[in-house]
Structure 1
């Protein structure tokens, strides 16, 4: 049985992974206001929960391009702008416009008659909007 992953779970796992290098938690605690190294160790172990302000500051330190959403308890990207086009899309390629085009004989197929659809992408656990 799988458990729902929240933004707090993602932060907890990230702090736990960073705890493996020496003095990493001390460097993080120095940047996050009101949080000590022992609090980060207890947070990574699941013994305590941090306040909303500490979670937001911790998110900003660990994931510079993400923010902690208080309403949903998830992480989300700070980039809220609409995607921009990189230019004008070219016309679709039509092989019949080529000077050396010769149609295939009937019955000759290069691809199987039934093509399989690619599997749907799974949502990114702990993040709003999934993979972008």
Structure 2
């Protein structure tokens, strides 16, 4: 019943692991490049610079979870891919004092799971 609700037309594993790893790597790349570009964006457009990191974070999680492959549970697959992209970039966030805040860490992980599951769910509906 839940597989029909999630838009499942594929058979197989709940998560397509190779596709999830590739998605996590792409999401990680977006997070790193977005963080490195922030000083340029902030000097070019100060208002955009304030919102740059949250915007890049959501885009990175969406990009990480948009490929669902043959996953039987696309929402779970998307959540795993997005969360793994954050876990890959997490050590770099520890260089900044604000990145060590446990509340911020949990909120970003929650945003990764919610964004990934939403994008995965929508991609599963498109596949159905």
Give me the TM-score of the superposition, normalised by structure 2.
0.26
Greater per-residue helix proportion: 2
More strand by share: 1
Determine which structure has more spread, i.e. the larger CA radius of gyration: 1
Q: For CA contacts below 8 A with separation 6 or more, give which structure has more relative contact order.
A: 2
